[in-house]
Amino acid sequence: MIRPFLALGVETSCDETAAAVVRDECEVLSNAVHSQIHLHARYRGVVPEVASRSHTERITGILEHALADAGVTPEDLDLIAVTARPGMIGSLLVGLAAAKALALHFDKPLVGVDHVAAHLHAGFMAEPDMPLPCLTLMASGGHTALYLVEARGQARRLGRTLDDAAGEALDKGAALLGLPYPGGPSIQEAARRGDPSAVKLPRPMLGPDSLDFSFSGMKTALLYHLRGNALTRPMPELSEDEVADLAASYQLAVVDTLIRKLRRALRQHPDVRSLSIGGGVARNELLRARLAEDRELRALHLVLPPLALCTDNGAMIAGLGTHLFRERGIRDDLSLDARATSRREP
């Protein structure tokens, strides 16, 4: 019998301290996450110093938690995978230091993983035999891009945001509506009671062929709607019904724009066979429902990773790390360093 391959994945690039144990690249044995959202909520965004300090406090507990949940000891592991880029340097360094210490002490191989490439890999973990190529939308608070995934660990970027990310647009829109941070979930919640056709907001498409995104105009349109084109009006007091209508209209504008770009990408790449999504915005219920129902997109095989694999997590790091180590022979040594940006396109 072939012994299963066990990888530990460590993720601290942003505001989640996360670790997970994954068997044979896809089977998630444990997925421990400590979210720092409560620490950053009052600043309406992630504060780097607060983030790295909290990672430092939590990392040991999260590692113990992930190993205990999976019922394994560090000696059982075959690989330690860790997010090395892109992200906030001070946060990345906490995960890297922990991963290196484990690798050194227990004499285990170490591999550094690109965070965005790992989000893309979540589709394979959800469905290892998905038909390729796969059109993948990666939408989070920091990134929004479209990829053509041609093989495991091999993706070509078709377009990206030129300004705000989709999640950032939701976070900023929520701030204008007085809804709590993070904006994606709070707009989704408020939108349940609202009328999505109440307010007309733009769907920025950037010319007839572009697969890039631009979301910054959307929050400006919402701001103008609230304060008038000359911004001469004070911010109005909004009733609960008005907030609900605005949240529903804003959420629809963001989701509609993402769907239209996916349709456009499909028309330009008719050989695409599957469709997948990743990143925090991929948790959005309206987006998930619309992808399944859309007249054009429904021709594709739809892979919706479970919610726990959409937001930042260690399982996707362990999954991609396993692929890189086993299939490509990639391995890092203790000189592995943190980088704020991707080395090249994932």
Q: Interface residues with Zn ion (CB under 5 A)? A: 140, 312
17 backbone φψ class: left, alpha, beta (φ>0; ψ -120 to 50): beta
69 contact partners, CB below 8 Å, separation of at least 6:
21, 29, 30, 31, 32
Segment near ligand KG4 (CB under 6 A); pick from 123-131, 135-143, 234-242, 256-264:
135-143
User: Among the candidate windows 62-70, 178-186, 229-237, 294-302, which touches ligand KG4 by CB under 6 A?
Assistant: 178-186
Is-contact 8 102, C-beta < 8 A? yes
Candidate list 177, 284, 300, 324; residue touching ligand KG4; CB under 6 A:
284
CB of 310 to ligand KG4, least distance (A): 7
Instruction: Tell me the residue type at 27.
Output: E
Residue 304 contact, options Zn ion, ligand KG4, none, Cβ 5-8 Å cut-off depending on partner type: none
- In the bound state with ligand KG4, the residue whose beta carbon lies nearer, of 185 and 321, is 185
12 binds ligand KG4 (CB under 6 A): no
Q: In what order do the strands lie in the sheet with 6-11?
A: 27-35, 16-23, 6-11, 79-85, 110-114
Contact pattern from residue 213 through residue 252 relative to ligand KG4, giving x for each residue in contact according to CB under 6 A and a dash for the rest: ----------------------------------------
Q: Are 174 and 218 in contact (CB under 8 A)?
A: no
Instruction: Say if residues 13 and 115 touch (Cβ distance below 8 Å).
Output: yes
User: Residue 269: in which H helix or E strand, if any?
Assistant: none
Choice between 118 and 272, CB closer to ligand KG4: 118
Q: Which amino acid is at 334?
A: L
Strand partners, 138: 145, 278
> For ligand KG4, which stretch binds (CB under 6 A), given 20-28, 101-109, 127-135, 276-284?
276-284
Strand, coil or helix: 58: helix
What is the phi/psi pair of residue 80, to 5°? -120, 115
Least separation, in Å, of the C-beta of 316 and Zn ion?
9
Cβ distance to ligand KG4 smaller for residue 14 or 110 = 14
Q: Is 30 one of the binding residues for ligand KG4 (CB under 6 A)?
A: no
Kindly report the backbone phi and psi dihedral angles of residue 16, in degrees, each rounded to the nearest multiple of 5, phi listed first: -120, 130
One symbol per residue from 44 to 83: x for binding ligand KG4 (CB under 6 A), - otherwise; what is it? ----------------------------------------
Least distance (Å) between residue 87 CB and ligand KG4? 8
Residue 95's binding partner out of Zn ion, ligand KG4, none, with CB under 5 to 8 Å set by partner kind: none
Token couple for 295: 């007249």
Strands 16-23 and 27-35: antiparallel
Using alpha carbons only, what angle is made at residue 240 by residues 239 and 243, rounded to the nearest 5 degrees? 90
Residue number, 254 or 275, with CB nearest to ligand KG4: 254
Instruction: Show contacts with ligand KG4 in window 298-327 (CB under 6 A).
Output: 311-312
Question: Looking at 17, 83, 136, 140, which residue binds ligand KG4 (CB under 6 A)?
Answer: 140
The conformational region for residue 107 under phi > 0 = left, psi -120 to 50 = alpha, else beta, is: left
Residue whose tokens read 């946060």: 91
Q: Which residues bind ligand KG4 (CB under 6 A)?
A: 14, 140-142, 167-168, 170-171, 182-185, 188, 279-281, 283-284, 311-312
